[in-house]
């Protein structure tokens, strides 16, 4: 695979992290705890506690 | 190491032969075990000959290997049908649905968690059907268990069910639900393709119990690892992305579609980007490219594979060339894990195999990627079919391979076409066509259903392209050609057009009965977007595995991905709103053969022209005209020849009447000898908000697929016998999504106009009981359904005759809506078997008022006469209307076939009607609908009344849909679920 494509993927990841960091600054309510609460009905059986039990 | 060209050719052709063998076996269908043994024997003989030829005359070996693999394919397919093992679950099904069979089995795949239910699949090990446990041996097939979420409160195992658990399940082993109408989705067949032959339902907490973990073995451990990895990735997603974007990203990355809202799914289907949500080769492709890039970067690292080893060994050491050989191993391993994580769907297996084979043969054997395509397609198809021959006509399998074949073989001819033929003025005309088409579809989407408009538009485009061609010859437009496009855009454009030509246009009707017009445009945006969302989603989920900083990195990545997903979903909703999603009739077998012959000639046209020039010494121009002429000849043959149809159909002088199974509802399809199609009622609408509207949409789930299966592109006559939801509901969907040419109603369209208010509706309906009970769900449900029904393309016939042709062309409302009362002749024609006449015997001009149910008694009663055969369709009439009919018509009411009134209710089918009509066949369209319909015991009482008079009673809930064919003198009656004649 050409190195140009590799550079593109890495640049995409860096850019995504940068944009995400800005968004997190603008929206303080976007947190892990809030997301977990909102996703309570999405695959409810998959939780940190259950996965640690396995 | 270089690939031996002879070996490559042999591998290619034996793989295609095997695929052909499986296809042939699918067409001939299952045969007895003796046939399979004969095939294995023949196969052995051919293989023995091949071995001999390999040593004696190597170039001839392909002539024995090809038939060997064809026969091998036939035998493999037949082997899958072998259920002769007495321990196979197909022989263990209970006849009593309340049976208490106990099964011990091991969960064979990751549980499929849905909103209110979880599906698990078990491989049975032991069974107790009342006489103690006994072990099951040999090929048993699997059982799917539907575990209701209701047991969760008392049985915590619901939340921890896992692959590899050994469980005990108690309940009745039943046959999975089979398709009960002539066409449509067959759930039992879909399960059989996955080696599942029986089902059980667990609704009580004590009916499922965890026993122990099974010994997984090495392959099982790999699967278990993959499922665990998937769960952890889903957990990472739940932490970093809010709903509904978490459901969307979960679906497109690891195939976790459990939380995707129904509306979102429909948006994707309607815009032709549903393949984005259903994990396909596209996702595997993105993953494969990402993995290749990552491993390439890692394994090419000078630090890791040159500088550090050189320092350690104090000499020049370059391990890079050798380390690069390991890339395929890691990529193949990672793809295999991904396939397991995502549920091993045919599309993902196909893509993973193809990428794996491609990267191996290009890394280790030096074959270029473009040349390897010709080998990877047949190899991966053959390997997949060797494991599961039933995949041959699975939608995911067929669409996936067709798409990739199109990309590989149609890309170059399309590029040549745009470079040499559609260039300059031609390209300008092409863009004008795209802009015009988009404008029309966005501003006036209903025009796509108007055949007059379609013909005018196509004629205009033909003239436009003709003018562009002439202009290009006289005044060439330089600088406006395909080579000027950016290579990435032009390549992507050619690939998308290749997929549309090779897969979407011909196969959308076969598998989905719909054509997503927005698909062409939507995919140009959707695919690059998914190329960002999928890698970011996977990387974001994997970030969460990193301790300490992982969740923060995942959160940032999730936030960005949420923004991209938001745009993607907005785009899908935009296209869904402004672009139509019309129904497309399933193409006939002959049409598909003609179409794909043309496509293949187009794909290999340069090879064909080269052959004509070199071997037959034809000039270049002559060869071009020859290829064009051949294609035109094949195209025109479709207009003159009668074709093979996809399913069984009728003879030209026959009338075919189908009583659909729509659960608790009425729906009858009549196909007249001339080909005219008539539909009486449409079943339920399936809106769960209102209990009066049934559990599923009959229009979408039953009528559309069957219209498509019968190759009916437009419905000539649609009849609503009464406005009850179980009769009218399905017609709303049909009117919105199908080409209906005319409509009849028992309610006068002049009095029941679009936008009618609730009170006026009840007043005009004249049903005193409904008026008195106007706040209850039934009259509200009747009104809502009818309101929406009028809001489709219906227009009172009197308004329509006043419109000018241009108004009619541009109007959204194109379906003349007429009133039927006693004496109305709906359709009449002369046919070989006699006169075909469909007429109304009711309701009377002066409607019933003050009866037990005026709305039912005022139903349309229709009589169909063809030759000497008579059919009576009584809709929902009750005792009052029945007595009145018997008084007025007497012996004239006699019929060979009767649609039993009101779904077999005991308030209808009076002795007077039964004796007067005296049918040979009485059809009951019934299905239990909790809170709405009556019970089976009532139906059996009604059934008894007809059987006493010697009638054969057929119930759609037991026998499925009923098909009756008549040539005017004989009757042939068939039921979908049980053969009888």
| pLDDT recorded at residue B639 | 56
CA distance linking residue B237 with residue B255, whole number of Å: 13
| H helices present in B713-756, as ranges | 725-737
Q: What percent of chain B has pLDDT over 70?
A: 91
Q: What is the least distance, in Å, from the CA of B114 to any CA of chain A?
A: 8
Residue whose pair of structure tokens reads 């491989």 in the numeric block:
B123
b/e burial code for range B274-295 (CB count within 10 A of at least 16 → b):
bbbbbbbbbbbbbbbbbbbbbb
Name the CATH topology of B89-215: OB fold (Dihydrolipoamide Acetyltransferase, E2P) (2.40.50)
Element holding B178 (H helix, E strand): none
Q: Does the pLDDT of residue B371 top 70, yes or no?
A: no
Domain boundaries, chain A: 3-53
Which residues have CB under 8 Å from B164's CB, separation 6+?
B106, B107, B213, B214, B216, B220, B223, B224
A25-50, pLDDT tens digit by residue?
A: 999 999 999 999 998 878 877 888 87
Same fold: B89-215 with B655-975: no
B234 Cβ under 8 Å from any chain A Cβ:
yes
Q: For B314-318, B466-470, B755-759, B885-889, which range has the lowest pLDDT when averaged over its residues? A: B314-318
Chain A residues closer than 8 Å to B293 by CB:
1, 5-6, 9
The closest CB to that of A39, out of B238, B296, B560, belongs to: B238
Minimal-distance CA residue of chain A relative to B551: A32
Q: Does the pLDDT of residue B922 top 90, yes or no?
A: yes
Across chain A, mean pLDDT equals 83
pLDDT bin (cut points 50, 70, 90) of residue B827 is very high
Q: Which residue has the higher pLDDT, B289 or B40?
A: B40
CA distance linking residue B147 with residue B158, whole number of Å: 8
Q: What is the least distance, in Å, from the CA of B563 to any CA of chain A?
A: 9
Q: Does the pLDDT of residue B930 top 80, yes or no?
A: no
Q: Does the pLDDT of residue B933 top 80, yes or no?
A: no
| pLDDT recorded at residue B543 | 92
A11 Cβ under 8 Å from any chain B Cβ:
no
Minimal-distance CA residue of chain A relative to B550: A32
HSE, CB side, 13 Å, CA atoms: give it for residue B342.
31
Average confidence (pLDDT) over B686-692: 61
What ipTM was reported for this prediction?
0.94
Tokens of residue B121, six digits: 């699949």
| pLDDT recorded at residue A1 | 43
Looking only at the bridges linking them, the beta strands covering B815-819 and B794-796 are parallel
| pLDDT recorded at residue B897 | 97
Smallest Cα–Cα separation from B761: which of B782, B737, B733?
B782
pTM of the model: 0.83
B437 Cβ under 8 Å from any chain A Cβ:
no
Please report, to the nearest 10 degrees, the dihedral formed by the alpha carbons of residues B68, B71, B75, B78 taken in order.
160
Average confidence (pLDDT) over B572-576: 83
CA distance linking residue B125 with residue B121, whole number of Å: 13
Chain A residues closer than 8 Å to B534 by CB:
none
| H helices present in B444-549, as ranges | 451-474, 487-499, 505-511, 519-543
B170-181, pLDDT tens digit by residue?
A: 999 999 988 899
CA distance linking residue B974 with residue B891, whole number of Å: 27
Average confidence (pLDDT) over B29-58: 85
HSE, CB side, 13 Å, CA atoms: give it for residue B961.
25
Q: What is the least distance, in Å, from the CA of B527 to any CA of chain A?
A: 16
Q: Check A32 against B243: CB less than 8 A apart.
A: no
Q: Check B539 against A39: CB less than 8 A apart.
A: no
| pLDDT recorded at residue B716 | 95
| pLDDT recorded at residue B652 | 77
The CATH number of the domain covering residues in B655-975: 3.60.15.10
Minimal-distance CA residue of chain A relative to B260: A42
Q: For B126-130, B204-208, B400-404, B656-660, which range has the lowest pLDDT when averaged over its residues? A: B400-404
Chain A residues closer than 8 Å to B258 by CB:
42-43
> Can you say whether the dihedral through the CA atoms of B91, B96, B98, B99 is positive or negative?
negative
What one-character-per-residue DSSP string does B88-116 give?
SGGGS--SSTT--EEEEEEE-S--EE-SS
Q: Check A44 against B159: CB less than 8 A apart.
A: yes
Minimal-distance CA residue of chain B relative to A51: B232
Q: Check A46 against B239: CB less than 8 A apart.
A: no
Average confidence (pLDDT) over B799-819: 86
Angle at B322 between CA B320 and CA B323, to 5 degrees: 60
pLDDT bin (cut points 50, 70, 90) of residue B643 is very low
Q: For B298-312, B796-810, B835-849, B912-926, which range has the lowest pLDDT when averaged over its residues? A: B298-312
Minimal-distance CA residue of chain B relative to A47: B235
A14 Cβ under 8 Å from any chain B Cβ:
no
Q: What is the least distance, in Å, from the CA of B540 to any CA of chain A?
A: 9
B536 Cβ under 8 Å from any chain A Cβ:
yes
The closest CB to that of A1, out of B242, B256, B293, belongs to: B293
| pLDDT recorded at residue B469 | 84
CA distance linking residue B262 with residue B269, whole number of Å: 11
Task: Answer whether B117's CB lies under 8 Å from B149's CB.
Answer: yes
Tokens of residue A43, six digits: 């695959």
> Which range, B124-128, B215-219, B256-260, B338-342, has the best average confidence (pLDDT)?
B124-128
| pLDDT recorded at residue B694 | 65
| pLDDT recorded at residue B642 | 47
The closest CB to that of A45, out of B159, B242, B551, belongs to: B159
Chain A residues closer than 8 Å to B234 by CB:
43, 46
Minimal-distance CA residue of chain B relative to A18: B556
Q: Check A1 against B250: CB less than 8 A apart.
A: no
Please report, to the nearest 10 degrees, the dihedral formed by the alpha carbons of residues B711, B717, B722, B723 taken in order.
80
Average confidence (pLDDT) over B905-930: 91
pLDDT bin (cut points 50, 70, 90) of residue B645 is very low
| pLDDT recorded at residue B692 | 57
Does residue B861 sit in helix, strand or coil? strand
| pLDDT recorded at residue B291 | 81
A28 Cβ under 8 Å from any chain B Cβ:
no
Q: Does the pLDDT of residue B310 top 70, yes or no?
A: yes
Average confidence (pLDDT) over B948-958: 94
Domain boundaries, chain B: 5-80, 89-215, 218-272+516-583, 280-393, 424-480, 589-640, 655-975
| pLDDT recorded at residue B350 | 86
| pLDDT recorded at residue B29 | 76
Q: What percent of chain B has pLDDT over 90?
A: 35
Across chain B, mean pLDDT equals 85
| pLDDT recorded at residue B647 | 39
Average confidence (pLDDT) over B444-466: 82
Chain B residues closer than 8 Å to A38 by CB:
242-243
Minimal-distance CA residue of chain A relative to B564: A16
B104-148, pLDDT tens digit by residue?
A: 999 988 888 777 889 999 999 999 998 899 999 988 999 999 999
Q: Check B536 against A24: CB less than 8 A apart.
A: no
The closest CB to that of A36, out of B232, B238, B561, belongs to: B238
B554-568, pLDDT tens digit by residue?
A: 999 999 999 999 999
Residue whose pair of structure tokens reads 């005991």 in the numeric block:
B906
A50 Cβ under 8 Å from any chain B Cβ:
yes
Q: For B38-42, B234-238, B692-696, B853-857, which range has the lowest pLDDT when averaged over its residues? A: B692-696
User: Across-strand partners of B168?
Assistant: B104, B209
Minimal-distance CA residue of chain A relative to B297: A6
Which residues have CB under 8 Å from B489's CB, separation 6+?
none
Q: What is the least distance, in Å, from the CA of A1 to any CA of chain B?
A: 6
Average confidence (pLDDT) over A5-10: 73
Smallest Cα–Cα separation from B557: which of A37, A40, A14?
A14
Q: Check A35 against B247: CB less than 8 A apart.
A: no
> Which range, B262-276, B325-339, B475-489, has the best average confidence (pLDDT)?
B325-339
A21 Cβ under 8 Å from any chain B Cβ:
yes
Q: Check A9 against B290: CB less than 8 A apart.
A: yes
| pLDDT recorded at residue B981 | 35
Q: Does the pLDDT of residue B81 top 80, yes or no?
A: no
Q: Does the pLDDT of residue B802 top 80, yes or no?
A: yes
Q: Where do the DSSP E strands lie in B321-407?
A: none
| pLDDT recorded at residue B648 | 47
| pLDDT recorded at residue B649 | 64
Average confidence (pLDDT) over B654-671: 94
Rg value, chain A, Cα: 17
Task: Answer whether B728's CB lies under 8 Å from B666's CB.
Answer: no
Q: Check A45 against B232: CB less than 8 A apart.
A: no
Chain A residues closer than 8 Å to B158 by CB:
45
How many A×B Cβ pairs under 8 Å? 106
């Amino acid at each position: 695979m050409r190195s140009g494509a590799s550079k593109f993927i890495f640049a995409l990841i860096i850019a995504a992290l940068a944009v995400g960091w800005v968004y997190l600054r603008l929206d303080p309510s976007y947190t892990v705890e809030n997301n977990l609460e909102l996703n309570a009905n999405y695959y409810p059986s998959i939780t940190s506690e259950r996965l640690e039990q396995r | 190491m270089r690939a031996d060209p002879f070996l490559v050719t042999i591998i290619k052709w034996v793989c295609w032969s095997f695929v052909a063998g499986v296809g042939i076996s699918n067409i001939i269908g299952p045969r007895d075990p003796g046939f399979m043994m004969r095939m294995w024997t023949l196969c052995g003989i051919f293989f023995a000959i091949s071995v001999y030829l390999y040593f004696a005359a190597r170039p001839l070996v392909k002539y024995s290997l090809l038939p060997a693999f064809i026969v091998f394919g036939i035998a493999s397919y037949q082997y899958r049908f072998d259920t002769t093992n007495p321990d196979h679950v197909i022989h263990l099904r209970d006849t009593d649905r309340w049976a208490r069979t106990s099964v011990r089995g091991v969960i064979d795949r990751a549980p499929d968690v849905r909103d209110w239910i979880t599906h698990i699949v078990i491989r049975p090990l032991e069974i107790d059907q009342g006489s103690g446990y006994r072990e099951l041996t040999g090929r048993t097939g699997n059982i799917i268990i539907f575990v209701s979420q209701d047991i969760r409160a008392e049985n915590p195992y619901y939340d921890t069910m896992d692959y590899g658990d050994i469980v005990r399940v108690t309940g009745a082993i039943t046959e999975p639900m089979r398709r009960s109408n002539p066409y449509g989705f067959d759930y039992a067949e879909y399960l059989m393709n996955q080696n599942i032959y029986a089902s059980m339902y667990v609704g009580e907490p004590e009916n499922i119990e965890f026993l122990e973990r099974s010994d997984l073995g090495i392959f099982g451990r790999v699967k278990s690892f993959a499922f665990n990895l998937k769960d952890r990735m889903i957990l990472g997603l739940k932490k970093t992305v809010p709903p509904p974007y978490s459901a969307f990203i979960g679906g497109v990355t690891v195939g976790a579609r459990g939380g995707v809202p129904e509306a979102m799914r429909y948006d994707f289907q309607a815009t032709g980007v549903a393949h984005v949500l259903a994990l396909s080769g596209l996702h595997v492709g993105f993953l494969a490219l990402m993995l290749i890039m990552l491993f390439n970067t890692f394994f090419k690292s000078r630090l890791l594979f040159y500088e550090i080893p050189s320092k350690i060994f104090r000499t020049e050491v370059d391990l890079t060339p050798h380390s690069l050989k390991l890339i395929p191993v890691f990529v193949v391993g990672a793809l295999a894990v991904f396939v397991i994580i995502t549920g091993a769907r045919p599309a993902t297996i196909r893509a993973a195999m193809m990428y794996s084979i491609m990267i191996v043969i290009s890394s280790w054997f030096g074959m270029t990627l473009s040349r390897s395509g010709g080998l990877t397609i047949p190899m991966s198809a053959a390997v997949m079919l060797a494991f599961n021959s039933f995949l041959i006509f699975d939608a995911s399998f067929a669409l996936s391979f067709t798409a990739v074949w199109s990309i590989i073989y149609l890309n170059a001819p399309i590029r040549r076409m745009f470079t040499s033929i559609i260039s300059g003025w031609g390209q300008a005309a092409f863009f004008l066509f795209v802009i015009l088409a988009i404008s029309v579809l966005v501003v006036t989407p209903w025009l796509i259903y108007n055949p007059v408009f379609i013909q005018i538009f196509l004629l205009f485009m033909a003239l436009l392209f003709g003018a562009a061609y002439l202009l290009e010859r006289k005044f060439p437009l330089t600088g406006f050609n395909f080579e000027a496009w950016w290579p990435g855009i032009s390549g992507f454009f050619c690939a998308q057009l290749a997929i549309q030509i090779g897969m979407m246009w011909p196969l959308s009707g076969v598998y989905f009965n719909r054509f997503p017009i927005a698909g062409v445009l939507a995919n140009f945006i959707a695919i690059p977007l998914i190329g960002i969302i999928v890698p970011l989603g996977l990387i974001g989920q994997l970030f969460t595995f990193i301790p300490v900083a992982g969740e923060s990195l995942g959160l940032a990545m999730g936030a960005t991905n949420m923004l991209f997903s938001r745009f993607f979903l907005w785009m899908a909703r935009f296209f869904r709103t402004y672009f139509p999603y019309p129904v497309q009739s399933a193409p006939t077998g002959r049409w598909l053969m003609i179409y794909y012959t043309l496509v293949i000639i187009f794909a290999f046209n340069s090879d064909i022209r080269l052959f004509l020039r070199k071997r037959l010494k034809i000039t270049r121009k002559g060869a071009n005209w020859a290829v064009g002429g051949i294609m035109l000849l094949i195209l025109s043959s479709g207009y003159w020849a009668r074709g093979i149809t996809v399913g069984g159909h009728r003879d030209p002088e026959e009338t075919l009447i189908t009583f659909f199974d729509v659960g608790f509802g009425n729906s009858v399809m009549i196909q007249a000898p001339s080909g005219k199609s008539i539909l009486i009622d449409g079943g339920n609408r399936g809106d769960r908000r209102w209990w009066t509207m049934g559990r599923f949409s009959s229009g979408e789930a039953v009528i559309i697929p069957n219209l498509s299966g019968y190759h009916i592109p437009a419905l000539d006559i649609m009849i609503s016998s009464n406005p009850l939801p179980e009769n009218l509901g399905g017609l709303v969907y049909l009117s919105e999504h199908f080409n209906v040419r005319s409509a009849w109603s028992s309610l006068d369209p002049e009095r029941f106009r679009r936008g009618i208010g609730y009170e006026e509706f009840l007043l005009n309906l004249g049903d005193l009981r409904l008026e008195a009970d106007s706040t209850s769900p039934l009259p509200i449900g009747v009104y809502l359904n009818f309101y929406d029904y009028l809001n489709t393309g219906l227009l009172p016939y009197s308004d329509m005759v006043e419109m000018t042709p241009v108004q009619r062309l541009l109007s959204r409302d194109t379906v003349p809506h007429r009133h039927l009362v006693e004496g109305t002749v709906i359709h009449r024609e002369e046919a070989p078997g006699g006169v075909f006449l469909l007429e109304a015997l009711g309701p009377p001009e002066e409607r019933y008022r003050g009866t037990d149910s005026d709305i039912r008694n005022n139903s349309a009663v229709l009589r169909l006469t063809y030759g000497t055969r008579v059919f009576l369709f009584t809709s929902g009439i009750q005792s009052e209307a029945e007595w009145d009919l018997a008084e007025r018509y007497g012996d004239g009411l006699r019929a060979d076939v009767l649609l039993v009134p009101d779904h077999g209710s005991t308030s209808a089918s009076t002795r007077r009607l039964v004796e007067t009509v005296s049918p040979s066949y009485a059809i009951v369209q019934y299905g239990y609908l909790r809170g709405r319909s009556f019970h089976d015991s009532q139906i059996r009482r009604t059934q008894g009344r007809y059987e006493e008079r010697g009638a054969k009673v057929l119930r759609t809930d037991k026998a499925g849909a009923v098909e009756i064919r008549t040539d005017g003198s004989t009757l042939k009656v068939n039921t979908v679920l049980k053969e009888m004649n």
